[in-house]
Amino acid sequence: MAGPSTSAEQAAELASRPGHTNLRTSLVRWLLITISLTFLGALLAAPLAAVFAMALENGWNAYFASFADPDTRAALRLTLTTAAIVVPLNTVFGITAAWCIAKFEFRGKSFLITLIDLPLAVSPVVSGLIYVLLFGLNGWFGAWLMEHEISVVYALPGIVLATMFVTFPYVARELIPLMQQLGNDEEEAAITLGAGGWFTFFRVTLPRIRWGLVYGVILCNARAMGEFGAVSVVSGNIRGLTTTMPLHIEILYNEYNFIGAFAVASLLSLLAVVTLIIKTLVERGTGYRRR
């Protein structure tokens, strides 16, 4: 039999138990809280604060001026474009994979799930390397692409592919357990009552999985906009052409343009904060809990 399930309930229960508040437990509690907060402060809070402090070091004018730079704007556009392509595609994939895995039984299902999870275990550099090996000059399709004057590596298609690889599992991983948990009953009922497949999906399934979907999409988006290693390998880092925001940060930083680098970093940090806020709102407001 499990005890109280949420931490707040547990903490409240602990506080109300007699004989549990002596000097030793108070000391341990104080020590653990201090250690935890110091750890978080040094590792997380300080760097995050440093991003904004460094970006604003020369004041707001210098901060906004750094976004007027054409190369920076190109980087912003490229990041947004990439995310706009990658996130919907991976969302469609995630929904399809989740429907396939949650609604049907077939052999090799767990193998399929493991394969879908694979990109999460692969190093970002390797994720970019594989596309260079396929589409680079000496790659499998390299000669064919050159003949037809199509660039994949060192261009948008390569960046999109590498980003798709690294963000591939996010939506699927949210939806698969969720749909397995929700079960097939309602969909089966709808079908037997004469509803078509699409109708069932849009009117029966989608409303029930919407918070998991939101969750998966914002995580996918955060990773898509923030990916560095894979895109760095595949894009060639051509300033103003194939640098996404994270890559542009590196270029600016290496030129000692700290205001510029941290200004772009501050935008991505704000994105991270917004992602976390949405995530927290979904968890607290709707009770959707990531298992």
* Nearest to other proteins of 69, 117 (CB atom): 117
* Nearest to other proteins of 84, 92 (CB atom): 92
Nearest approach in angstroms of CB 83 to other proteins is 12
Strand ranges in 71-195 using DSSP code E only, listed in sequence order = none
Closest CA to 189 of 171, 204, 202: 204
* Nearest to other proteins of 240, 275 (CB atom): 275
70-103 helix and 156-167 helix, angle to the nearest 10 degrees: 40
The two three-digit tokens of residue 168, written as one number? 């591939």
* Nearest to other proteins of 84, 273 (CB atom): 273
* Nearest to other proteins of 70, 194 (CB atom): 194
Nearest approach in angstroms of CB 195 to other proteins is 10
Residues 218, 278 contacting (CB under 8 angstroms): yes
257 exposed, middle or buried (CB, 10 Å; 0-12, 13-18, 19+)?
A: middle
Closest CA to 117 of 174, 158, 157, 162: 174
* Nearest to other proteins of 64, 140 (CB atom): 140
What gap in Å lies between CA 243 and CA 156, rounded to an integer?
10
Nearest approach in angstroms of CB 94 to other proteins is 10
Nearest approach in angstroms of CB 149 to other proteins is 21
What gap in Å lies between CA 145 and CA 152, rounded to an integer?
8
* Nearest to other proteins of 73, 96 (CB atom): 96
Nearest approach in angstroms of CB 72 to other proteins is 14
Nearest approach in angstroms of CB 96 to other proteins is 5
The two three-digit tokens of residue 289, written as one number? 């809990």
Nearest approach in angstroms of CB 240 to other proteins is 18
Amino acid at the residue 212 = G
From the CB of residue 3, how many other CB atoms can be counted at a distance below 10 Å?
7
From the CB of residue 238, how many other CB atoms can be counted at a distance below 10 Å?
11
Nearest approach in angstroms of CB 68 to other proteins is 21
206-226 helix and 258-286 helix, angle to the nearest 10 degrees: 160
* Nearest to other proteins of 50, 84 (CB atom): 50
The two three-digit tokens of residue 128, written as one number? 């970019």
